[in-house]
Amino acid sequence: MLNNNKTVLLIDDNVVDLKINSKIIKISNLFDEIITCLSGEEALAYLNKTLHDGGKLPDFILLDIQMPDMDGFEFLELYKTLPNRLTDHCLIAMLSSTLDFGDIKRAEASLHVIKLLKKPLILKELEELLKKYFTR
Amino acid sequence: MSAPNVRVLYIDDEENNLQAFKASFRRQYEIYTAISAAEGLKVLQNIPIQVILADQKMPGTTGVEFFKSITDTYPDPIRILLTGYTDIEALADAINHGDIYRYITKPWNDLELHNSIKNAYDAYKAKIDLRNKVTELEKTNDELNRFIYSISHELRAPLVSAMGIVNLVKMEGLYNSSGEYWSLIETCSNKLDYYIQKTLQYYKNNKIVSENSAVDFHSLIPDLIDLHTYSDKETTFTVNIDQKEAFYGDAFRIEVILGNLISNAIKYQKETETNKRVNVNAVVRREAVEITINDNGMGILNEHLEKIFTQFFKSKVNQGSGLGLFIVKEALNKINGKITVSSNLAEGSTFKITIPNAK
């Protein structure tokens, strides 16, 4: 129902979590294509390259908060400066094992971020979120 | 009996007095003198003075006025006022505004003055020592808190990955593929996660400054019940909320308190009970909110009632961490709340909490 040729971009420095979450999404069949990046820098490079090539841009980004060097919030700052044809159509959910109210509020106050999802990623929560935002 | 490194500043408009003071005390103290308040200030700007003596009656700025003027800029040195006459009004003013340690009438008695300076220096040292100790303790406390916080986060990240793997195992239909091993791993992971979450709650309760905001019990209590019944649908909740008044309080701590009590009410049910039930009643008044949480669970032994709020107390019958009620009590302490409990093994337990309305 949701999957009509949609692409998701996963950004997480933790290889294990990246593997788990790609697998969950693959089984769920929510997206056609799954792209993974191990850092915010790598993700920005990927997005810039795709924007330049005219390739398929992601419709949804799952962004980990706690990453070395560039954390999730820093990534968002740079993401904001990317062209509208990406940012207008792409939604972001942040992902974290935090239980910190401050982080939750801060994440959900950011432009483009629709929700902070807690790790471990629960398929049902992800499905409900996507249903809410992608149903047309 | 000498204490040569006590730095004393003496301000007096009469040069004779300054000379006499120097003559009497130059062996005991490191002495600085000034002929006016302005000169005195210059000395203070350059030398870390520990004891200041000032004459009250000086042209321009009086001793009291001088002490008042430096209360914020030089709060540490101990002040002694010298007065040639017993001017009660000036003294009262001095003690109220200038933070004066002693006053001494002129002409002074050498022994009396010496003792006063010595005592003043002791007071100075005690003040500085205390401040250093407080800073040191604050730092240690802060470091300990931060350590607990970051270790909990660091521990939780890989644990959460493990929980994610168990979820994946379920999704792929492999959960029962190796006997009960996966379910055992899940139980262990959940238990460890519970401990970590309680540790974080404890840390936050200690650390976070209480902030009052509007609390709507009509939405808070059902939300908390939903959250805790997520994995257990067997218990029936009856909720009665009477909130006509606005309530202001520390939303974070109220959530912690109610969350723990609700989760306990679910956790400590009798296994054999077919009609597991919990009643939650909340009545909001102008002065306070009163909430009772009553269950028909296993109850608490009479001799345990006094101990349930202590850290790491757990009864033998079940799987508690010994942290939940301890955190409840700690959180209530921070917001001046109260808790009482009545319980017996036949009927279950009733916890009653009262939290003042900060409106």
In terms of pLDDT, which residue wins out, B110 or B302?
B110
- CA contacts within 13 A on the Cβ side of B57: 10
- pLDDT value of position B295: 94
B153:A98 CB<8 A: yes
Per-residue pLDDT of B171-187, as tens digits, reads 999 999 989 999 999 99
Interface test with B, best of A19, A20, A25 (most B CBs within 10 A): A20
Q: State mean pLDDT over B129-153.
A: 87
- Whether the CB-CB separation of A107 and A63 falls below 8 Å is answered with no
SS3 state at B215:
coil
Whether A99 and B200 lie within 8 Å, measured CB to CB: yes
A13-22 mean pLDDT: 94
- Please answer yes or no on whether B163 and A120 come within 8 Å at the CB atom: yes
Task: Among A40-44, B55-59, B152-156, B294-298, name the one with the lowest average pLDDT.
Answer: B152-156
Chain B interface mutation, best of A12, A97, A104, A123, highest count of B Cβ atoms under 10 Å: A97
The partner residue sitting opposite B161, judged by closest CB among A20, A99, A122, is A20
A97–B164 C-beta distance less than 8 A: no
Q: Convert the pLDDT of each residue in B11-63 to its tens digit.
A: 999 999 999 999 999 999 999 999 999 999 999 999 999 999 999 889 889 88
3-state secondary structure B128-148: HHHHHHHHHHHHHHHHHHHHH
CB of A99 less than 8 A from some CB of B: yes
Please report the pLDDT score of residue A108 as a whole number: 82
Q: Is the pLDDT of residue A136 over 60?
A: no
pLDDT given at position A121: 92
The C-alpha atoms of residue B223 and residue B244 are separated, in whole angstroms, by 19
Distance from CA of A81 to the nearest CA of B (A): 30
Residues of chain A neighbouring B167 (CB-CB closer than 8 A)? 20, 24, 120-123
Chain A CB within 8 Å of residue B200 CB = yes
User: Average pLDDT in the A62-83 region?
Assistant: 93
A19 and chain B: CB distance < 8 Å anywhere? Answer: no
| B157 and chain A in contact, CB less than 8 A | yes
Residue A97 touches partner B, C-beta closer than 8 Å: yes
Contact A40, A69 (CB under 8 A): yes
How much of chain B, in percent, has pLDDT values that exceed 70?
96
The answer to whether the bond into A120 is cis (omega within 30° of 0) is yes
CB interface of A with B, residues 26-55, below 8 Å? 27
Whether residue B161 contacts residue B189, with contact meaning beta carbons closer than 8 Å, is answered with: no
Mean pLDDT of chain B: 89
pLDDT at B2 over 70: no
What is the reported pTM?
0.66
The residue-averaged pLDDT of B313-333 equals: 83
Which value does ipTM take for this structure? 0.85
CB-based contacts of B247: which residues, under 8 Å, 6+ apart?
B214, B215, B216, B217, B284, B289, B357, B359
Angle between helix axes B217-229 and B251-267 (nearest 10 degrees) is 40
- Comparing CB atoms, the residue among B160, B171, B252 nearest residue A119 is B160
Whether B163 and chain A come into contact, CB under 8 Å, resolves to yes
Q: What is the pLDDT of residues B187-222, one digit of tens each?
A: 999 889 988 888 888 888 887 788 898 999 999 999
What residues does B236 pair with on adjacent strands?
Answer: B277
